[in-house]
Amino acid sequence: MTRRLRSALLLTALSLAPTSAPTKTRIVPPPPYAGAYQPQSVDERGLWAEFDEIERTLRDSPTVLHDEALNTYLHGLLCETVGTDRCTGVRIYVMHVSDVNANMAPNGTMQIYTGMLLRVRSEAELAAVLAHEFAHFEKRHSLTRFKAGRTAGDLAMWVGLAGGYAGTPTGSTRASLYGAVFSYQRNQEREADIHGFEYLAGSRYRPGAFSDFWRRMMEEADATALGRQQRSTRYDRTAFFATHPTNLERAGYLKQLAIKDGDDGDDGADTFAAAMQKWRPAFLADQLKRNDFGGSEYLLTQLAGSNWTPDLLFARGELYRTRGNPRDLVAAAGFYRAAIAGGPVDPLAHRGLGLALMRTGQVTEGKVALADYLRAKPDCEDAAMLRSLIEQS
């Protein structure tokens, strides 16, 4: 699906709404929280026990980013969005994984991937993600999915046995059963989107931020496809076994809700950027390992806007040098130089500059850059290799 067609579809959906958004009014908060659901049946208690064991593993997992300040910030943002009565029992784990994901288990365990933290642009967008996951928890979607999947599996087994005895085909019947389960999951995602939106609209944050997030996810996917010379995703179609609505659908109905209820409010972009500043270089380094030139270039451009800071210039230099076309190496050297001139930067910028220059035949200047790096990092892992490059005639 082309970007022009997708934009036309989204604009068509938005044209049905009034052109002038009314002033935002705070949505009436939901009734007092009755507390987290406690398992009732034997199966439910078994499911909860599994999630409890997973959480015990998470507490000591090297994949979890253990940072008290970051966790306090995220938990505070959740409380501000859904209310202090609801957030108290939630435990947040930041997973050092570059995928764009977040989830919440029925026992109150929430996971947020660092790839998600890299992509949201503001507290409003992050609050929308947190509220969406909490809505799954509050609506007990994990439990209902478990029950629905078990029921479908049992039915499919009995249909298979009946078909075996009767000699009748059962493949289409089983597909219909599982298709109904996936359709049910998509409906739950829509419900969580809308319930999470209500939390966002009832807070100080701008509710339209959630729609903005899904729009950028489509644009990044398009950039990834273009960089890999592949077709873009058809956002106007829902796959039979899809567990989520399409990003186009989500961006559309969330934007409609924002226009209806008023799309003013705080984005909290500066506060969010300050909270992520310590971790952004590590998150960017993880992104560069994904072998996704188009998506990474899009992401860096979105992060920079009109302000290419030294860390973003360094990451862009690494991205172009890694792809390694002759013109990429020339561009990479320019990005590294700009990063170094812009102020404090990772010493690896000197290493990258040196390697890029040497690969384009600028050996003397490249050796100077590598020597600058070794002075800053004399005990680096590849010190011997870099010194041998400098010593070559």
Provide mean pLDDT across the span 329-351. Answer: 96
pLDDT value of residue 49: 85
At residue 107 the predicted structure's pLDDT band, cuts being 50, 70 and 90, is confident
Tell me the two tokens of residue 141: 């979607």
**Euclidean distance between the first and the last CA atom of the chain, given in angstroms as a whole number:** 54
In the predicted model, what is the mean pLDDT of the chain? 83
Q: Which residues of 3-21 are buried (b: 16+ CB within 10 A; e: fewer)?
A: eeebeebbeebeeeeeeee
- Has residue 376 got a pLDDT over 80? yes
Cα–Cα nearest to 332, from 354, 308, 306, 301: 354
Specify which residues 113 forms β-bridges with: 95
Provide mean pLDDT across the span 330-347. Answer: 96
pLDDT value of residue 330: 97
Q: Show Cβ contacts of residue 177 under 8 Å, excluding neighbours closer than 6 positions.
A: 152, 155, 156, 159
Domains by residue range for the chain, with CATH: 3-261 (no CATH), 279-391 (1.25.40.10)
pLDDT value of residue 44: 76
227 within 8 A of 283, measured Cβ to Cβ: no
Q: Give just the sign of the alpha carbon dihedral 321, 324, 328, 333.
A: positive
276 within 8 A of 117, measured Cβ to Cβ: yes
Virtual CA dihedral for 193, 241, 104, 278, nearest 10 degrees?
-80
pLDDT digits (tens, 9 = 90+) for 118-161: 999 999 999 999 999 999 888 876 666 665 545 444 433 434 44
Query: 39-43, 56-60, 266-270: lowest mean pLDDT where?
Result: 39-43
197 within 8 A of 256, measured Cβ to Cβ: no
Provide mean pLDDT across the span 240-254. Answer: 80
- Has residue 206 got a pLDDT over 80? yes
pLDDT value of residue 48: 80
Specify the pTM: 0.82
Q: In the chain, what's the furthest Cα-to-Cα distance?
A: 82
Higher local confidence (pLDDT), 205 or 179: 205
3-state DSSP call for residue 103? strand
Q: Which residues of 306-321 are buried (b: 16+ CB within 10 A; e: fewer)?
A: eebbbbbbbbbbbbbb
